[in-house]
Structure 1
Amino acid sequence: MTAQLHPVSGIPTPVKVWAPGKINVHLGVGKSGDDGYHELATVFQALNLGETLTLVPGGNGSIVVRGRYADADVPQGDANFARRAVNLLISALEDERDVDVLRDLDIIIDKQVPVAGGMGGGSADAAAALCGAAHLIGGVDDGLLHDCAVEVGADVAFLLRGGTAIGHGRGEKLSPVLTRGSFHWVMATSASQLSTPTVYSRFDDLNPDPEPAVVPAEVLTALAAGDLDTLAGAAVNDLTEAAVSYMPELAEVMEAGRDAGALLPLLSGSGPTIGFLARDAHHALDLAVLLQATRGVKEALRTTGPAPGAHIIDEH
């Protein structure tokens, strides 16, 4: 189904929005609460490898997926994160605001973040959709946007803001983090997928009484100073052992990255994508070439952080 690309008379023009992907520079995992969610202490960093959405008012409610990962299994209809985000905003405002322009939006997704890899591509779609929808109705209170974002998924609130931030709770309680300079990453994706609930369940099996989740002071100090070596020695992802227990090849990819000179191999979220910290752009290029030839790596993608959060890039 083809989305309408040109405005209908009397209907606002389409709006184009960009939102970043992310990496968890550190991910500490604590106990599971009564709601089934684990207490997290994480450091998000937004990456310049992002998603672009075009919201077209006056359409028929279609979702069109284009771009590098257009052939991936992207949910359609109300199951799509972008559509769900818009629907939540409509529900939150329809009793007090005119939100008719948000009904029957066509959503065109330029898919540039790998799907189901722990980099937040679906969450970026939701963040972009919220940003664009808010623009179409003349602005929305930041607190309300945050609440809608959290209801879609814990990462969405961060991707609205971008930059680098500590996330507590499920990751939705955010505090900005000072950083210096750019951080160069090579994201090694896998042809296989990992179920997030399954990885967390295995974490529980391996850690029946985990310590409270914390972000080490050394991680924050290193980010503020742009000290890559200290960051490499302090940052961890507590889900790594659980993910590797399901996909042993992840450990082999991490070791290959270390052998190739990566400062830090870091599971992205619950995986299976692995982020490798490089010293600079030239080092990242060398790493990407070596990792691309490594068994178990589907793609080696270069990116940098921190990147800005969701924002309008073109109103036409």
Structure 2
Amino acid sequence: MTSPLRTDSTTRAPVKVQAPGKINIHLGVGGANDEGYHELATVFQALNLGETLTLVPGGTGSIIVQGRYGDSAVPADATNLARRAVDVLIAALEVDRDVDVLRDIDIVIDKQVPVAGGMGGGSADAAAALVGAAHLVGGVAEDVLHDCAVAVGADVAFLLHGGTAIGRGRGEKLSPVLTRGTFHWVMATSARQLPTRDVYARFDELHPAPGPAEVPDQVLKALAAGDPDTLAESASNYLTEAAVSFLPEIAEVMEAGRAAGALLPLLSGSGPTIGFLARDAHHALDLAVLLQATRGVNEALRATGPAPGAHVVDSR
């Protein structure tokens, strides 16, 4: 994977960055290690339903959240993942470089990924913030950005790069996956939330001695062939049973999607959002209309993947 960006000089002009949301096309979960983290073998796919951040130097350190989900409970303080990402980068660079341009930046987040739904919206904000901050200081080496991303959250590293990739460990050990064509998804969101920690704890209760986390070969073959039907036969999410035990309506929505013709209902991350795989754009539109009228579905959003990772779109 190549570095998200590398520039030659610092700039104090605002920089606008876009970063994708994601779905876990497959999520294999193994046992927890001594630190409490589960060994994962997941296939990430970046989606074109993403976030846009504008980093404005010379501000007051404010965080402004707007957009479709701007009224959600997104923190506007030091706990915001975009702010944390900038702070982590400052700490990584300040010994050797002048990073004063990053200390007072305002961050404007155009929130277009549903909040707390397993689609990586907060991680996308962090990835975008890292890329924007790297631009402002004249470029940062890929390994430094990767380490900063992992320090903020395991999904952040993938969203720096986008595309489709296998994630191992906590998801931060990435290997690109050959993917042909475009995959069409309908993301059915819920008005409810599922804390990730609780879902993993329930997984441990249900599977006290889990086997190894694996990615089936058929998943990779289906992606390489651009074959949604084969993908639907082989992809799964090991956390589904645990999530359903908290929110039984997840199973009901999955069944409704199958009845409406979806090739595959797939819990996104630890949920509660469900991704429904469609054959093509027309099929996705039909699914979205039917799912929008389904009890337990808050919104039915069409998305496609793979999408590019975090990248600068404007810097004047």
Where does structure 1 differ by over 4 angstroms across 4 or more consecutive aligned residues? Answer: none
Which residue does 2:266 correspond to in 1?
Answer: 266
Which residue does 1:152 correspond to in 2?
Answer: 152
- Cα separation, 2, equivalents of 1:285 and 1:30: 36
- Cα separation, 2, equivalents of 1:111 and 1:150: 22
- Cα separation, 2, equivalents of 1:25 and 1:226: 13
Which residue does 2:92 correspond to in 1?
Answer: 92
Could you list the runs of 5+ residues in structure 2 that have no partner in the other structure? 1-9
Which residue does 2:237 correspond to in 1?
Answer: 237
**TM-score between both structures, scaled by the size of structure 1:** 0.96
- Cα separation, 1, equivalents of 2:99 and 2:11: 13
Q: Shift of the alpha carbon at 1:52?
A: 0.1
Identity, in percent, stands at 79
After superposition, residues 52-91 of structure 1 pair within 5 angstroms as 52-91=52-91
Write out per-residue CA displacement over residues 27-56 of structure 1, whole angstroms, 9 at most, x where no aligned residue.
Answer: 000000001000000000000000000000
Letter in 1 for 2:252: E
Write out per-residue CA displacement over residues 212-258 of structure 1, whole angstroms, 9 at most, x where no aligned residue.
Answer: 00000000000000111110010000000000000000000000000
Write out per-residue CA displacement over residues 156-177 of structure 1, whole angstroms, 9 at most, x where no aligned residue.
Answer: 0000000000000000000000
After superposition, residues 164-175 of structure 1 pair within 5 angstroms as 164-175=164-175
- Cα separation, 2, equivalents of 1:90 and 1:239: 35
Q: Shift of the alpha carbon at 1:106?
A: 0.1
Q: Is the 8 A contact 2:56 2:106 kept in 1?
A: yes
Letter in 2 for 1:285: L
- Cα separation, 2, equivalents of 1:11 and 1:171: 33
Could you list the runs of 5+ residues in structure 1 that have no partner in the other structure? 1-9
Letter in 2 for 1:302: R
**TM-score between both structures, scaled by the size of structure 2:** 0.96
Q: Is the 8 A contact 1:11 1:58 kept in 2?
A: no
Q: Is the 8 A contact 1:27 1:43 kept in 2?
A: yes
Q: Is the 8 A contact 1:16 1:55 kept in 2?
A: yes
Letter in 2 for 1:178: L
- Cα separation, 1, equivalents of 2:101 and 2:305: 34
Instruction: Calculate the aligned-residue CA RMSD, in Å.
Output: 0.8
1:303 partnered with 2:308: no
Letter in 1 for 2:273: T
What secondary structure, in the 3-state scheme, does the structure 1 residue paired with 2:313 have? strand
Q: Is the 8 A contact 1:17 1:131 kept in 2?
A: yes
- Cα separation, 1, equivalents of 2:11 and 2:57: 7
- Cα separation, 2, equivalents of 1:243 and 1:11: 46
Which residue does 2:101 correspond to in 1?
Answer: 101
Q: Shift of the alpha carbon at 1:11?
A: 6.8
Letter in 1 for 2:190: S
What secondary structure, in the 3-state scheme, does the structure 2 residue paired with 1:276 have? strand
Q: Shift of the alpha carbon at 1:12?
A: 1.0
Q: Is the 8 A contact 2:183 2:304 kept in 1?
A: yes
Which residue does 1:133 correspond to in 2?
Answer: 133
Q: Is the 8 A contact 1:216 1:234 kept in 2?
A: yes
Write out per-residue CA displacement over residues 174-229 of structure 1, whole angstroms, 9 at most, x where no aligned residue.
Answer: 00000010000000000000010000000000000000000000000000001111
- Cα separation, 2, equivalents of 1:290 and 1:255: 12
Which residue does 1:25 correspond to in 2?
Answer: 25
Q: Shift of the alpha carbon at 1:76?
A: 1.7
Residues paired across the two proteins, number: 307
- Cα separation, 1, equivalents of 2:36 and 2:11: 43
- Cα separation, 2, equivalents of 1:13 and 1:77: 23
Q: Is the 8 A contact 2:218 2:231 kept in 1?
A: yes
Letter in 1 for 2:207: N
Letter in 2 for 1:171: G
Which residue does 1:312 correspond to in 2?
Answer: 312
